[in-house]
A and B are shown apart, each in its own frame.
Chain A
């Protein structure tokens, strides 16, 4: 009796045990897939009681427009936080777009960071971007600069364009864009090349979008006053630092603030009639093989930590609740009434016309 009881109990346990084991070995993945909530619950119970953040690993390829120092700090900060290895190509907006075009047949990039909003809008219209509506802190961004409706791109920072000048050579800085067409500035002014510098392109298209076709007069007068088109932003600024030229028209402000902080004899003015602010959008590319990592990268760009890095790099933070350090903040800079859609539609044409005028 005892024996049979013991035997049946043994049988029962083995049967139950075997069926349970079979279930756990063969059906776990199916159960996970079909019933993620219960699985999440069990892991939450058995493991550490953390929120349901996915553990990240592997790589992320980022093509990023400068500034180099900030890009490197963001890369390091993101790597430290997530353990994802970031491979970063740093270049100007023009070079990044060209690289993506060259790699069209074999895309490797996950996230792009540009220095030009219209270029990013163009990519959105071409259907190249992966929407990420759930991006953390996206609601705090300056709404004009980001695709808040669909979450296609997020401007995590911005820079304003101004007139940068050498303080040793210039005692009374120009106060308006028209000043630079005067004879006293003949041959002493640089302007960045819009085919290389996204922010310069933004300035030119932004200015034209606000002024209409008559806006071209300014640039034609610049040309006849021997304004030189000189590479990307830093190449335009460099001769001004060394004193070879006196002024950069449409120079990015953060570079000027940075050089000034290092002790170089430069300063910047924002013309009274207004200027253009060039947002720096980031987006996930649709072909991204590492979508989770890419989303985490966007979240990181909008995080307090990265926004603080942005502010330290003399850029305007993308979030309205973060203030820039040691520089003019957004509300202190008067801007033109720019039309981003027009800028996006006409950027190629404007860039070509401009470089033809200045070549």
Chain B
């Protein structure tokens, strides 16, 4: 009896979860495909291809995106591989703070970082003011190469973490084992290290590729300056500036979606075929080089240089720009002022309103996302039924699909003529979009927590007479709580800085900190925009650090 009611409850809950995911995530994406193959009220499967191939510009845009992805993979590898080796194999790796610092470039919203770089490098920019001779570099920087550089400096920490962890896990034992069996260095390198590293690298490279072609911030700021257009910036253009063209936008979105799904499929293939169990019971032992002498100089030099480029330059520009009285006057002590901060934070100002909007939106969205995400994660559980797998797939889909594609889908769905729920153009549309976009974070974190819990704990609770609710409240909830908090925090931070969705779906007379910053760039009040950037990035970073410090499972989350 008890078992039966539990089963039917699970069945209803699982079905409902799947239904909600279908409406929230799947339907918008299907609508994009549908709109692109159903132009002019007529089914035409090849329409998106024809739209794209028929236009020389769009083919170029597609090739731009792909080329950019490949270039960024190459440059991030160049940045991340030496760094991973240094942090895994020398005693610089003992400096834990470096890992936190190395996350800063990744956590800096790309539209702000690019702006910082542009202010620094442009003719008459900060670099030229500090070092007039450097102006010869300017034309080289405002080019395709500069764009690859900016995007790589944003993304390299991601690849670095993957590679470093892989290197740490290979550890000394496997190499030693090979050595004991008489393998010379080259052979060890070829047969042990490369294959073990390659699977992690392959995964990392694919994710870098997907993140690069899905990125909107850098193309929207830097790319527009140099006239380099990619899929995301063109999609945005076709749905937000005159003359509007949903057909082209959805065709490009379908294409972007397709590329990302293929990459995601290859990634699952790699990770299922080439994953090795590297963690044994014995704990890994790593031989580390002392960072003295030439090794020390080179290692520290490399790390410092990389940090200067990825954090020093953009943040120098952002902070300087937020303090300048007159932008035409250049950097000097007499031209500095705090008035932009005062103006921004004065009661009733648009800036403060935008900042508060961002915080309330982020709090509401992350709370809803945590509740839904936890539910979905528990529904997926450890089970491997078809329904659970599908739920898993749908709930993680927004992480694979570029944000702008989801947003286009959500607009198509919620602004459709037949949609009875009048959500579009309201506050709740924004909340809904954030929830959909960032659902995967909670799902992933909670699933990870849940996966570690042995079901015997719950069984023990039931055997001793605990009701379902009691078992949930006293056993399950405390154990998955760290995952929920991590998911909440991540959603909060990211939705606080979210740009592309906010640009496209905010109702009139509403701004968030990200759209405020973007609008200030457009309105010429760069100082105000940068002051907002300092405040919003500062506050969320401090929150993240506090959580990082308080969180009991610090190690595990440093993936």
Contacts and interface: CB of A to CB of B under 8 A. Distances in A.
B416 A237 contact: no
A255 B123 contact: no
Contact of B509 (A89, A102, A234): A89
Interface stretch (B237-245, B255-263, B394-402, B459-467): B237-245
Sort chain B's interface into a size bin.
35 or more
Nearest to A61: B508
B286 interface: no
B425 interface: yes
Contacts of B86: none
B424 A106 contact: yes
Given A86-B509, A196-B241, A266-B328, A105 B122 contact: no
B124 A244 contact: yes
Contacts of B411: 102
A242 B124 contact: yes
Nearest to B321: A242
A241 B329 CA distance: 9
Contacts of A166: 328
B123 A245 contact: yes
Contacts of A68: 519, 523
Contacts of A61: 508
Sort chain A's interface into a size bin.
35 or more
Interface string A218-252: 00000000001111101101110111110000000
Interface centre among A94, A244, A359 (most CB of B within 10 A): A244
A241 B122 contact: no
Contact of B415 (A66, A102, A232): A102
B287 interface: no
B424 A351 contact: no
A102 B521 CA distance: 24
Interface string A60-90: 0111001110001000000000000011111
Contacts of A195: 237, 241-243
A222 to B, nearest CB: 15
Contact of A63 (B124, B417, B508): B508
Chain B interface, DSSP helix/strand/loop, else mixed: loop
Interface in B475-522: 507-509, 519, 521-522
B326 A262 contact: yes
Nearest to B526: A238
B125 interface: yes
B525 to A, nearest CB: 9
Contacts of B416: 105
Contacts of A109: 508
A267 to B, nearest CB: 12
Contacts of B285: none
Contacts of A359: 57, 227, 229
A94 B242 contact: yes
Interface string B44-78: 00000000000001000000000000000000000
Contacts of B523: 66-68, 234
B541 interface: no
B220 to A, nearest CB: 10
Interface string A258-301: 01001111100000000000000000000000000000000000
A166 B124 CA distance: 12
Nearest to A85: B509
Contacts of A232: 522
Contact of A237 (B244, B417, B422, B524): B524
A101 interface: yes
Contact of A94 (B225, B241, B507, B509): B241
A105 B415 contact: yes
B514 to A, nearest CB: 15
Given A89-B508, A102-B239, A238-B526, A265 B122 contact: no
A97 interface: yes
B508 A97 contact: no
A171 B239 CA distance: 42
B473 interface: no
Contact of A102 (B57, B227, B244): B244
Contacts of B237: 195
A94 B320 CA distance: 32
Which 9 residue pairs are nearest across A and B when measured between Cβ atoms? A243-B124, A89-B508, A234-B524, A94-B241, A87-B509, A94-B242, A97-B242, A244-B122, A244-B123
Interface of A: 61-63, 66-68, 72, 86-90, 92-95, 97-99, 101-103, 105-106, 108-109, 119, 166, 168, 195-196, 228-232, 234-235, 237-239, 241-245, 255, 259, 262-266, 348, 351-352, 359
17 contacts: A68-B519, A97-B244, A102-B411, A103-B415, A103-B424, A105-B415, A106-B425, A196-B241, A230-B225, A235-B521, A242-B124, A245-B123, A263-B328, A264-B328, A348-B243, A351-B242, A359-B57
Given A106-B417, A259-B524, A359-B57, 9 more contacts: A95-B241, A98-B240, A102-B244, A102-B411, A108-B508, A195-B243, A244-B124, A264-B326, A359-B227
